[in-house]
Amino acid sequence: MKPLHFSALKKMARSPAHYKAALEMPSEDKPAFRLGRLVHTLVLGGPAYEVWDGGQRRGKAWDEFVKANEDVDIVSTDELETARGMADSVLADMAARDLLVGEHECLFTWRIGERDCAGRLDVLDPLGFITELKTTTDAEPDRFGRTAVRLGDAAQLAWYLDGAKAAGIGTPDRAYIVAVEKAPPYVVTCLELTPRALEMGRRTYRLWLEQLLVCEASDSWPGYVQGIWPLDVPDDFNLTIDGDEGAA
């Protein structure tokens, strides 16, 4: 069995059925993912990339370019310009620069019980902290914070902190996120996860892992609920009728 990565584990947040489906189907590589990887490369170092400036992504020239560069990301000039603006903004931010000092793109493995686990840290300061670089549409601290919690970032950082210690690659006890917006002026926000946020994240990933182990042992992968779920309305529900709403 392959080592468990957080990107797979967090699929359990939706349902075991979604986790299993994600393992069986290749994930779609969206432009937002490609931009994120490109920003990581420009800021932290990473995989090579090639720029396609030949217009639309089709035709003989495009097919030949893809074949010649099948092992690297192919980005447009517009994507590269955006990524460079984002990267320059991160590297110009004094707080962000301090949080990017350490080992970059650090791969490591560890075990939780009998389960092999793996992670890739954006930044590891072995004696102090870990940092994740995130791209976002809105880095306003309160709004980004709510989004980060909803997307499982607290669980991800707790997973990495615990994993780094278990793997013996350091004893970091602090976790940070450097968030950069995808549009000019490419605002950067640096956030430190509080002990309460990390503890919540730790409880979250442990719950997902417990559910996953049960599903693997039973080979049962339910969806959201089993059986029939009651549909009710709150006491203060205000009924409005729209003749087109829900028309079948």
Question: Token match 């059986």: residue?
Answer: 227
Residue 236 belongs to some domain of the structure = no
Q: Alpha carbon of 10 to those of 38, 122, 136, 212, 244: distances in Å? A: 23, 18, 19, 10, 37
Domain-terminating residue out of 41, 68, 92: 92
Same domain, residue pair 128 and 177:
yes
Pairing of β 103-112 and β 174-181: unpaired
- Pair 39, 152: CB distance under 8 Å: no
State the pLDDT at residue 241: 62
Residue 72 belongs to some domain of the structure = yes
* Rounded distance between C-alpha atoms, residue 190 and residue 213, angstroms: 35
Spatial CA neighbour of 202 closest among 125, 87, 112? 112
* Rounded distance between C-alpha atoms, residue 102 and residue 178, angstroms: 14
Same domain, residue pair 69 and 112:
no
Same domain, residue pair 66 and 108:
no
pLDDT band at 243 (very low <50, low <70, confident <90, very high): low
Which range among 130-134, 169-173, 227-231, 237-241 shows the weakest confidence by mean pLDDT?
237-241
Q: Is the dihedral of CA 100, 102, 108, 113 positive or negative?
A: negative
Rama region for 199: left / alpha / beta (φ>0; ψ in -120 to 50; rest): alpha
Same domain, residue pair 57 and 130:
no
Same domain, residue pair 100 and 213:
yes
What is the domain count for the chain? 2
State the pLDDT at residue 151: 93
Residue 9 belongs to some domain of the structure = no
Query: Would you give the DSSP letter of residue 4?
Result: B
Residue 238 belongs to some domain of the structure = no
What is the C-alpha end-to-end distance of the chain, expressed in Å? 45
> pTM for this one?
0.88
Task: Answer whether residue 72 shows pLDDT above 90.
Answer: no
Same domain, residue pair 191 and 153:
yes
State the pLDDT at residue 62: 83
Which range among 55-64, 79-88, 187-196 shows the weakest confidence by mean pLDDT?
55-64
Which range among 3-7, 54-58, 91-95 shows the weakest confidence by mean pLDDT?
54-58
Same domain, residue pair 51 and 150:
no
Residue 125 belongs to some domain of the structure = yes
Same domain, residue pair 73 and 107:
no
Residue 138 belongs to some domain of the structure = yes
Domain housing 127 = 94-218
Same domain, residue pair 110 and 83:
no
Task: Answer whether residue 30 shows pLDDT above 90.
Answer: no
* Rounded distance between C-alpha atoms, residue 15 and residue 6, angstroms: 15
Same domain, residue pair 192 and 204:
yes
Residue 223 belongs to some domain of the structure = no
Residue 237 belongs to some domain of the structure = no
State the pLDDT at residue 242: 61
Same domain, residue pair 55 and 132:
no
Instruction: Give helix 153-167 / helix 141-150 axis angle, nearest 10°.
Output: 70
Extended strands (E) in the chain: 49-52, 73-76, 103-112, 115-125, 129-136, 174-181, 188-192
